Structure 1
Amino acid sequence: MTSAPGTPVTEGGNRRAPGTGPATDTGTAPPAGSPVRKLLGAVWLWPALVAAALTLYNLGGPVMWHDELATISVVNRSTGQILATLHNVDAVHGAYYLSLHFWVSLVGDSPFAIRFPSAMAMVAATVCTAVVGKKLFGDRSGIAAGLVFALLPTVARYGQETRSYALVVMSSALALLLLVRALERPGPLRWVVYTLSVGLVGYFNLVALTFLAGHALLVLVRFRETRARRLLVGFTASAVGAVVLVYPVLHLGGEQSKRQIGWVPKPTVHGLATIWPQIFGSLLLVLLLLLLALPALLRKPRGEVLAVVGMVFIPWLLVWGVSHGSSSYYLSKYLFFLLPPSALLVGAGLGSLRTRYLVPLTLAVAAVAAPAQRDMHAPLSHAEYTYPDPLWFTPLDYRAAAGIVAAGYRPGDGMVYGQKYSVWWEESVGIPYYLPSDVQPPTLFVGETATRRNDLWFTFCKDPAACLGDHPRLWLVAVGDVKDAFSSVPANQSAVLRPHYTVQERRTVSGITVFLLVRKA
């Protein structure tokens, strides 16, 4: 590009009048090519800000549910105790527990603090998604993919979950980005880094490794274009190496699978379609995103588009098929790793349209997602893991139940948990978690604590009479709308409590009944 004689040309080819001085002196805008301008022009910036706003909003507000309480129970143990626990249960969550353990040791386990890593993981996943979209389909598709991903209700919801799912999404999005970089400029170091990223995904969630089938499609597309055999060799070596890396989790996870996921039902043909609203948070949103993705199929060359289609649908079908075997893995939260490629597909579709359509269509996605966003930020939303499908149990409001105990507490009070049928609900973790530090009544009828057992749950005292003590008052917390306090505990505990205590107060909150028992004169 040439300029008129005597007319300076700024970086990037923009003319300025002689004598006006450097562009930075005007004070009106950063110079072209400056770090600020590059940042403002990055395809990932605005999607990342949207994701941060939606995940950080009311981060500590929703009540912890029993899955999150299991996390809290484990991460507050010592490193040695966590490792011992993993040999008995939750080996598949071990990497998450250990990483969160060190985080909690630094910042504490308040709802905001303990959920913050998940929020940041979803922001990082947004960045990776936008960058991959740019690399595969261009700038407009990159920012569109990032914004669509950031607006998904389940991104915000599980960006506020004290479980590993946000880190699974982040690591799977990162693995895809590293694969694209390795295909751009293959080399041993890039393939090693990709191998490590795939291994990281496996340590957070073994089911997500089915994404390798979709990655293989992208490798084949690039091989067809370049005929470079080193792409096939590099990817195959990386996939095998990653599986070797995660073998310890594969081994322990297989041994624990019956206990971990034995409750997950086998999928039906009907379930092929019905799981998608749970993955995205809204049936209407799924239909809109499908419509917006259709123009991507008209893009040329189509290889990358078809590869991304495979990344979305092949792992889904693999998980559905494998789940008809001895164990079922067909649960929406195990499939959230499909969110980044799904957003990429929609971004490719939006990017192929004229620029004037991008803003209104993105706003349409936000509008359709808004009802689910509202619901997923609600106080008891975290228990609704099948949203928008109805839940089979009433969400437990541990915070409100703890508030009842804290308001009426007196020194010398004891605590009993009505776990006649199951300790799965984690009341013995949830109530103390929400109680003030100076209001921690001792729990009766505990034989061996969960920490001592290297497990998630404690055992009952074999001789309830010997474990009763002489507390003048007891708080009995039972799951459900329970009418008879003594019927909510095992028979041998009831036989000890009935002769010595009478019910003075009964109050209910969502999913929990709180009784105040007073010792008889």
Structure 2
Amino acid sequence: MSVVERGPAVARAVSPPVPARRQSPSPAKTVVVIAPLWLTIALGLWGIRRQNTMWGDESITCQLAHRDLSQIWHTAQHVDLVHALYYAVMHEIFGLFGGGLLTLRLPSVLAMSVAASGVGLLGLRLAGPRAGLLAGLVFPLLPQVQKYAQEGRSYAMVCALVTWATYALLVSVPHRARWRWAVYGSTMLLACLLHEFAVLALVAHGVTLVVSRLPRPVLRAWSVAAAGIVAGLLPLAIRSAAQSEQVSWIGGPVRLQYFLVVAVMGVACARAPLAVRGPVRLSALAVPILVLPGLLLLITSLVRPLFVDRYVLYSNIGIALLLGAWMDYFHRRQRSSRTAWIAAVAVLAALVQPSLSLRTPQSRSNDATAIGAAVREEGRPGDGLLYLPGQHRTLTAANPEDTRFLTDLALAQDPVSSNTLAGTELPARDIAARMLEFDRIVAVRAVGVNSPTNLQEEAKTSTLRRYFREYGTTHVNGARVTVYVRDDVPPPKAGPRANSPGASGGVTR
């Protein structure tokens, strides 16, 4: 054979292999990701301003995120260390987009939208495209999800991270690649650093793997990742334990009814023969993450009350998956879809009223905007200002103009310079002496909260009782704003607003 004849054969022998073309996402997968995302964004933007009001915890986010990073860190050494990372994230967001109400809440809307897409993908992987789409669409309709999607706190971000950590866990099970487990571990650790009760989802993941009877190498890989997560969280947990007074306001389980209802509903759905795809059954993943975190908090509450529904917001992943899979099962079982459509319309109609109420100021336990407005309305330039208790000074800090012309009688050092949330207060004797220098005092009294018993608070109440009389009280969501006048001062003449309604309630004289 000549050289010319051998040429093509040689060329074929040394030609590089053609790289395999990556498969594009299937249309079903695209819909499962996009549809829940946009539904959650739409619901999150609907009424996001809540009539331009802000509640107390959001006010704290706003105040701390406006401090620089060093001040946030120094404040966290005294109080609220568990939220320090979230405040740092919001500080950077405020620096880029400004510190308005939309900037405060939009990160939660986007985080919850990402969580909804993750729920859809979980359902797709566990039970098929239709179950995934239904689960992803159910998730943003849940009242608790709608509520915290519009809140300037860390819980929506934690929910998104736990959702995608759960998806990373499912992806890691069949492949067993170390980098996949590293992704799972780092995502879960970040969720725990944003709020340490996210570690309860780690317990649920472990139960899922055990009941699924997966091979020992998988359990070993998860154990290594879990150990890394706990080790990374441990310093924060130890330091924040010294700030346990931050949860002293929890007198018992807060909004326990929602958790009990969805837990019972989820367990009932899990009894149906749901679709199964892969080594992990949907019920084996969804039931533990729905039930275990809340149950563990309830058990802990037998020693110290810690159960608050938003601490385990991510448990809604479980109920969304179970409802989506149950509706898929119901659709497959019914020959006609008419019944399914009627049921869907009935559920949507039932959700209208809760969805509307969640977008009102009254849907939160207090209204910092209304409290500040009531102080501004009732106070006169030169009046004294008193907080009962002092820790609730944060309720009027969102808008400094509300208290600009009043004198804070108990304040020794302001919150920023003292690296605290509410500042530091004078000794009891000095507070009483300053109170007696004023003829009128505007007192802000938080309601529904156990007031601490200390010398400063006793001095405030006893001085008011002995030397002042109540002139009028404005009731607002979460507080009472009361004007006191000295007993030896003639009562002021009733002005035009003596009998006018307050910012969010009535005025009594």
CA distance change for structure 1 residues 174 and 517 in 2, over 3 Å: closer, same or farther?
A: farther
Equivalent of residue 359 in structure 2, options 377, 383, 402: 377
Equivalent of residue 368 in structure 1, options 328, 331, 350: 350
Whole-angstrom CA distance in 2 between matches of 1:235 and 1:202: 16
Q: How much does 1:140 deviate?
A: 0.7
Letter in 2 for 1:237: V
Q: How much does 1:203 deviate?
A: 0.9
SS at structure 2 position matched to 1:419: strand
Aligned twin of 1:344: 321
CA distance change for structure 1 residues 434 and 451 in 2, over 3 Å: closer, same or farther?
A: closer
Aligned twin of 1:476: 442
Equivalent of residue 513 in structure 1, options 452, 456, 481: 481
1:154 aligns with 2:144: yes
Q: How much does 1:138 deviate?
A: 0.7
Aligned twin of 1:444: 408
1:60 aligns with 2:49: yes
Aligned twin of 1:176: 166
Whole-angstrom CA distance in 2 between matches of 1:217 and 1:286: 17
Q: How much does 1:265 deviate?
A: 4.3
Letter in 2 for 1:230: P
Equivalent of residue 190 in structure 1, options 176, 180, 185: 180
Equivalent of residue 418 in structure 1, options 374, 386, 403: 386
SS at structure 2 position matched to 1:417: strand
TM-score of the pair, normalised by structure 2: 0.75
Q: How much does 1:119 deviate?
A: 1.6
Whole-angstrom CA distance in 1 between matches of 2:37 and 2:292: 28
Answer yes or no: is the 8 Å Cα contact 1:183–1:222 preserved in 2.
Answer: no
SS at structure 2 position matched to 1:59: coil
Aligned twin of 1:12: none
Aligned twin of 1:433: 398
Q: How much does 1:290 deviate?
A: 5.7
Answer yes or no: is the 8 Å Cα contact 1:474–1:516 preserved in 2.
Answer: yes
Answer yes or no: is the 8 Å Cα contact 2:105–2:152 preserved in 1.
Answer: yes
Query: Structure 1 regions of 5+ residues with no counterpart?
Result: 1-32, 384-394, 482-487
CA distance change for structure 1 residues 192 and 208 in 2, over 3 Å: closer, same or farther?
A: same
Equivalent of residue 230 in structure 2, options 243, 247, 252: 243
Counterparts of 1:56-455 in structure 2 under 5 Å?
56-61=45-50, 63-220=53-210, 224=214, 227=215, 229-257=216-244, 259-265=245-251, 275=256, 277-279=257-259, 283=261, 292-296=269-273, 303-308=280-285, 309-325=287-303, 327-354=304-331, 356=337, 359-383=341-365, 395=366, 397-404=367-374, 413-414=381-382, 416-420=384-388, 422-424=389-391, 426=392, 428-434=393-399, 440-441=404-405, 443-445=407-409, 446-455=411-420
Letter in 2 for 1:476: V
CA distance change for structure 1 residues 61 and 190 in 2, over 3 Å: closer, same or farther?
A: same
SS at structure 2 position matched to 1:479: strand
Answer yes or no: is the 8 Å Cα contact 2:28–2:129 preserved in 1.
Answer: no
Letter in 2 for 1:373: S
Q: How much does 1:376 deviate?
A: 1.6
SS at structure 2 position matched to 1:295: coil
CA distance change for structure 1 residues 299 and 39 in 2, over 3 Å: closer, same or farther?
A: closer
Q: How much does 1:34 deviate?
A: 9.2
Answer yes or no: is the 8 Å Cα contact 1:118–1:164 preserved in 2.
Answer: yes
Instruction: Give the number of aligned pairs.
Output: 448
SS at structure 2 position matched to 1:330: coil
Q: How much does 1:335 deviate?
A: 1.9
Q: Name whichever of 205-214 and 153-162 sits farther off.
A: 205-214
Q: Name whichever of 504-513 and 56-65 sits farther off.
A: 504-513
Answer yes or no: is the 8 Å Cα contact 1:61–1:379 preserved in 2.
Answer: yes
Amino-acid identity (%): 25
Whole-angstrom CA distance in 2 between matches of 1:266 and 1:475: 34
SS at structure 2 position matched to 1:238: helix
Counterparts of 1:31-50 in structure 2 under 5 Å?
38=27, 41-50=30-39
Answer yes or no: is the 8 Å Cα contact 1:478–1:514 preserved in 2.
Answer: yes
Aligned twin of 1:51: 40
Whole-angstrom CA distance in 2 between matches of 1:409 and 1:456: 23
Answer yes or no: is the 8 Å Cα contact 2:386–2:441 preserved in 1.
Answer: no
Aligned twin of 2:15: none
Answer yes or no: is the 8 Å Cα contact 1:67–1:163 preserved in 2.
Answer: yes
SS at structure 1 position matched to 2:112: helix
CA distance change for structure 1 residues 220 and 376 in 2, over 3 Å: closer, same or farther?
A: same
Deviation sequence 1:11-53 (CA, Å, 0-9, x none): xxxxxxxxxxxxxxxxxxxxxx999x94995213222222222
SS at structure 1 position matched to 2:408: coil
Whole-angstrom CA distance in 2 between matches of 1:40 and 1:136: 13
Q: How much does 1:295 deviate?
A: 2.5
Whole-angstrom CA distance in 2 between matches of 1:409 and 1:492: 18
Answer yes or no: is the 8 Å Cα contact 2:471–2:482 preserved in 1.
Answer: no
Letter in 2 for 1:319: L
Aligned twin of 1:15: none
Q: How much does 1:317 deviate?
A: 3.0
Letter in 2 for 1:43: V
Answer yes or no: is the 8 Å Cα contact 2:78–2:419 preserved in 1.
Answer: yes
Q: Name whichever of 43-52 and 131-140 sits farther off.
A: 43-52
Letter in 1 for 2:481: T
Deviation sequence 1:246-280 (CA, Å, 0-9, x none): 122111122222x122343466xxx9xx82x3348
Answer yes or no: is the 8 Å Cα contact 1:147–1:362 preserved in 2.
Answer: no
Whole-angstrom CA distance in 2 between matches of 1:171 and 1:301: 23
SS at structure 2 position matched to 1:476: strand
Whole-angstrom CA distance in 1 between matches of 2:277 and 2:168: 23
Whole-angstrom CA distance in 2 between matches of 1:508 and 1:306: 47
CA distance change for structure 1 residues 65 and 108 in 2, over 3 Å: closer, same or farther?
A: same
Letter in 1 for 2:426: C
SS at structure 2 position matched to 1:513: strand
Letter in 1 for 2:395: G
Whole-angstrom CA distance in 2 between matches of 1:98 and 1:178: 26
Letter in 1 for 2:445: V
Whole-angstrom CA distance in 2 between matches of 1:346 and 1:64: 33
Deviation sequence 1:157-190 (CA, Å, 0-9, x none): 1112222211221111111011112124221111
Letter in 1 for 2:369: R
SS at structure 1 position matched to 2:78: coil
Aligned twin of 2:425: 460
Deviation sequence 1:435-459 (CA, Å, 0-9, x none): 659x833543221122222222223
Aligned twin of 2:504: none
Query: Structure 2 regions of 5+ residues with no counterpart?
Result: 1-22, 448-455, 491-509
Q: How much does 1:300 deviate?
A: 7.9
Q: How much does 1:322 deviate?
A: 3.2
Whole-angstrom CA distance in 1 between matches of 2:374 and 2:293: 46
TM-score of the pair, normalised by structure 1: 0.74
Answer yes or no: is the 8 Å Cα contact 1:505–1:517 preserved in 2.
Answer: no
